[in-house]
Amino acid sequence: MIEITFKDGNQKPFEPGITPEEIAGSIAPGLKKKTVAAFVNEDLYDLNRPIYEDAKVDLITKDNEIALEVLNHSTAHLMAQAVKRLYPDAKFGVGPAIKDGFYYDIATEHTIKEEDLPKIEQMMRRIVKEQESMTREEITKEEALKRFKDDPYKQELIGDLEEGEIISVYTQGEFVDLCRGGHVGNTRHIKHFKLLSVAGAYWRGDSDREMLQRIYGTSWFTEEELKKHLAVLEDRKERDHRKLGKELKIFMLDKKAGQGLPIWLPNGYTVRRTLEDYVYKLERKHGYKHLSTPVLGTKELYETSGHFDHYQDDMFPLMKDGDETFVLRPMSCPHHMIVYNSELRSYRDLPLRYAEIVIQHRYEASGGLSGLERVRAMTLTDSHIFARKDQIKQEVLSAYNLINKVITDLDLEIDYLELALRDTTKGKFHDDDQLWDEAEATLKQLLDEEKIAYREVKGEAAFYGPKIDVQVRTAMDHVITMSTVQLDFLLPERFDLTYIGDDGAKHRPVVIHRGLISTWERLMSILLEQYKGAFPTWLAPVQLKVIPVSLDAHQDYAEALHETFTDLELRSEIDLRNEKLGYKIREAQQAKIPYQLVVGDKEVEDGSITYRRYGEKEQVTVSKATFIEMVQQEIKNKTR
């Protein structure tokens, strides 16, 4: 007998060779149904993998996050088996579980199309009915290489494994796959799944290697969960900023205007301008000085900064004019360095915080462009803080606080901070090790002292220095870099920046690059998706819509109201078209205007206002003064 120890400390003897499924069954039939896999001495075990020695066993039930991963991973195998049956020449790359789903990379002569997916699903269901056991087997590397001798992808994967490492293969019916495991034991446990899309994906994520066909799918324990997830995907389509941006006339793209070069329409620009003003005022309050520099600069400027060496591929082609060559700037730092150098600086001048609403151009790969999310012409609030070394901590923290304030005001949340460091094996970073060590240590120490949690990522630094990236999770479940604070000891060297210290000698300042809102383009895409197009009142392109019941009787009052609002700098519109009331209301609702005001006899009589909030059915009648006070408070507090 072997001794199984459970998480709660209880122990129970079992026959050697007992499986997690049987253990669960021995405790309760309900538990058996709920159990998907198990941790045996920390190792992930399949439901049907025998246990031969004393062990700690932690059953993984369906409510556990890992259970869903196991299920999805098993569904990937199931799909691969189905694909192999339909397209026998298929070879397989990797097929992992991902968040809310799975994928498998496939190489086959047959081009897999969306319309093939139902066919594959059908085959999957057939295999489920066959109740194939998913059986684990452990073999040597040599044996594994022999078994998969016809599969170049598996050969490569096996070749990369350490000598002596346990290599496991899984067999279900006629299908055998190399796999670390954690499976549901039998295909009959896989019931509620859907294949979602086909796409191309480079083998091993390397753009220099061949491209495989990738099928994405999702798998759940219940039909309700599956439906719920599909509904989430539907909702994301509704939220898509490209769809909303068009419907609400926020921005447009036009082939003739240029790929990836968005045009801000009046509605979108109103929102952006409101945000710009907000950030501008906030920055002033935090001691920033605003300036403006050109979109074009000499190549020499960017050679001095090092951008040209490190960034050339991301820049638009050069412009030559006689002996001079110009670049469309991808960043604004060099200009700010020039400004710093334009005067003799004293230690008393520091910190010097320059901020600018910058237009910059990056020659992004055409395939990556998408709506306002990935563009080639972008606008952002950029800032460079010139500081003494003893001011770094204070300045980084102050920037971080500003970032926090803005993110909170925009109803967003920081998901995590990323401390991006260099990777010495890669050539894309400047090579002064001493500067790097100092900069990285400074940031790390600062975060640690302030007990700010972060994830360290090697190789993600800027070429000139390490950075703290503020990662935000969007309504589309994407993690994006919203803000960034970068420590730079390099550009001060490159541009020979100095200040006169209290000792009368020249010293080198430090530059802190601070990005606040990603870019206005990307921020707009995020906010559109976040609010589903229904902006809070302070941001809404149109805040109030005044609709008279009858033009004859109520137009004057409606116009007087509209004028009052406009004088108070509220963004009001009045609908004087010869249309039915219901029609105007429908349009106002579709435009997601926060307040629609219908004025008729009653309102004219007592000088009141009847309003209806966007998305609500309720109509509220209040005095004019009360209404104005309410809306102004709402705007001031940035509440909805």
Positions in 298-337 near RNA (CB under 7 A): 314
Of residues 222 through 241, those in contact with RNA by CB under 7 A are 240
The full length of the chain comes to 640
Question: How far from the centroid of its chain's Cα atoms is residue 349's Cα?
Answer: 38
Q: Which two tokens stand for residue 356?
A: 């600018």
Q: Write the binding mask 40 to 79 for RNA: x where contact by CB under 7 A, - elsewhere.
A: ----------------------------------------
Q: Smaller CB distance to RNA: residue 283 or 521?
A: 521
Cα–Cα distance for residue pair 96/374, rounded to 1 Å: 27
Q: 3-state secondary structure string, 554-595?
A: HHHHHHHHHHHHHHCCCCEEECCCCCCHHHHHHHHHHCCCCE
Does 574 contact RNA by CB under 7 A? no
Does 96 contact RNA by CB under 7 A? no
Q: What is the largest CA-CA distance in the chain?
A: 94
Edge-to-edge order in the sheet of strand 324-328: 296-298, 324-328, 319-321
Does 623 contact RNA by CB under 7 A? no
Q: Write the binding mask 390 to 429 for RNA: x where contact by CB under 7 A, - elsewhere.
A: ----------------------------------------
Question: How far from the centroid of its chain's Cα atoms is residue 129's Cα?
Answer: 39
Minimum distance, C-beta of residue 604 to RNA, in the bound complex (Å): 7
Q: Smaller CB distance to RNA: residue 201 or 339?
A: 201
Determine how many CB atoms are found less than 10 A away from the CB of residue 127: 22
Among 519, 537, 543, 572, binds RNA (CB under 7 A): 519
Q: Write the binding mask 345 to 364 for RNA: x where contact by CB under 7 A, - elsewhere.
A: -----------------x-x
DSSP assigned state of 119: H
Q: Smaller CB distance to RNA: residue 604 or 628?
A: 604
Q: Smaller CB distance to RNA: residue 27 or 199?
A: 199
Q: Smaller CB distance to RNA: residue 127 or 410?
A: 410
Q: Smaller CB distance to RNA: residue 10 or 578?
A: 578
Among 35, 72, 172, 213, binds RNA (CB under 7 A): 213
Among 122, 131, 222, 259, binds RNA (CB under 7 A): 259
Q: Please, are residues 120 and 86 in contact by the beta-carbon 8 Å criterion?
A: yes
Measured CA angle at 106 (ends 149, 126), to 5 deg: 100
Cα–Cα distance for residue pair 307/314, rounded to 1 Å: 10
Q: Which two tokens stand for residue 381?
A: 């609030």
Helix, strand and coil percent figures for the chain, each rounded to 5 = 40, 30, 35
Q: Write the binding mask 577 to 616 for RNA: x where contact by CB under 7 A, - elsewhere.
A: -xxxxxx-xx--xx-----x-xxxxxx------x-x--x-
Does 257 contact RNA by CB under 7 A? no
Of residues 526 through 555, those in contact with RNA by CB under 7 A are 549-552
Among 253, 387, 490, 544, binds RNA (CB under 7 A): 253
Which residue type occupies 536?
P
Q: Write the binding mask 163 to 202 for RNA: x where contact by CB under 7 A, - elsewhere.
A: ----------------------------------xxxxxx
Q: Please, are residues 506 and 346 in contact by the beta-carbon 8 Å criterion?
A: no
Question: Which of 330, 259, 328 has its CA nearest to residue 298?
Answer: 328
